[in-house]
Structure 1
């Protein structure tokens, strides 16, 4: 199981939210990072969708989790993943390539939005903050 997670919304360090605090206390910040994708404003939170268009980039942060199994179980529940949540689930957790600011690439877990989006709600900058 990978110990890296890429976050791009309310789990980032800039948020005063219990889940972002949980991530910060259970993982080490590795740096700012980005991935291929499109970002949409869903409600008060964003959703990432896959994209193959070269300039579709989502910006966020990369962390190394100290206890991935435990932390991912809590984050999965927060992101409404699992059989106990309404289907289709709000998000899916997937591995994807992430690029750090120094140009290095790593594989990391992230949450992909799993419902239809309104194209007018796209965050074209790829930055939630």
Structure 2
């Protein structure tokens, strides 16, 4: 099982997750020139998202003469950004630009990479003492952040919602299920039928394992070895349902030190709608990945187990 990934990957040095003005290369270059450091003290690695977070403007920046971006918890939503490697001088520069620790503070979070794996990162959030009600950004600052996001190929919907002080749209409205939440299985009733806008057979790159506890666990893979079979459900107001699903899956949030499952984001391939981004619960403990279910289908595995029991004298 050499190609099985644990959900959370560890890096030798903690990466930085940028979601605001630091995505704008010109703005970063101006600051670096002012303090006398090279711009390459931070180096872009690739895109990622902060799960269960939203952008907001709850801080007044005298330097920006208006609201400056912050992040706040919001289940079922994501904040788009870019991961960076940072040198020691880079952390000093970032702390200085963010006014850490007096205005913003460096915090640790889990970021989800495009392949569904997670990585521990540092990012910046406004300190509790500096937060206030909505602070409208200037048009210049909003355009600066938008340009940085777009240059990185990232959407600006969350930025626009935050700048206009309106609730963000939940961009992920699908969940991929592969075990006891499948239609007809014992926990399917936790997903009310009236909430399901569409249900389609789907697959996700990975491997499926029998945990020995009456439920399976999915392990991420790069797609070269196998797929897991299940269903992709489009849900009306999925964020409202995720609390129920989180409790079932033993997931108490991204700061939970010992979850049973992690909730991550995968690409589910459906027969009707093609590939869609979906929330998915993947095994969080190495001991889950011992007895692989060949073919990646929990239902077929249950049938085989039932047949085996009947054949046993």
TM-score scaled to structure 2, two decimals? 0.38
Q: Paired residue for 1:23, among 186, 191, 194?
A: 191
Deviation of 1:117 after TM superposition, in Å, equals 3.2
Consecutive unaligned residues of structure 1, counting only runs of 5 or more, are none
In structure 2, the residue matched to 1:80 is 250
Cα distance in structure 1, aligned partners of 2:229 and 2:217: 12
Q: Deviations over 1:73-127 (max 9, x none)?
A: 11001111115xx741000001111101257111101001100136541001100
1:64 aligns with 2:230: no
- More relative contact order, 1 or 2 (CA 8 Å, 6+ apart): 1
2:219/2:289 contact within 8 Å kept: no
SS of structure 1 residue aligned to 2:267: strand
In structure 2, the residue matched to 1:39 is 208
1:98/1:108 contact within 8 Å kept: yes
SS of structure 1 residue aligned to 2:244: helix
In structure 2, the residue matched to 1:49 is 219
CA RMSD, aligned part only?
Answer: 1.9
Q: Paired residue for 1:116, among 254, 269, 286?
A: 286
SS of structure 2 residue aligned to 1:117: helix
Cα distance in structure 1, aligned partners of 2:248 and 2:290: 26
Runs (4+) off by over 2 Å: 117-120
Deviation of 1:62 after TM superposition, in Å, equals 0.7
Cα distance in structure 2, aligned partners of 1:119 and 1:69: 29
In structure 2, the residue matched to 1:91 is 261
1:12 aligns with 2:182: yes
Give the number of equivalent residue pairs: 125
Cα distance in structure 2, aligned partners of 1:55 and 1:118: 18
Q: Deviations over 1:10-32 (max 9, x none)?
A: 000021x2x31121423233310
TM-score scaled to structure 1, two decimals? 0.87
Rg comparison, structure with higher value:
2
Structure 2 vs 1, CA of residues 104 and 40 (structure 1 numbering), >3 Å: closer, same or farther?
A: same
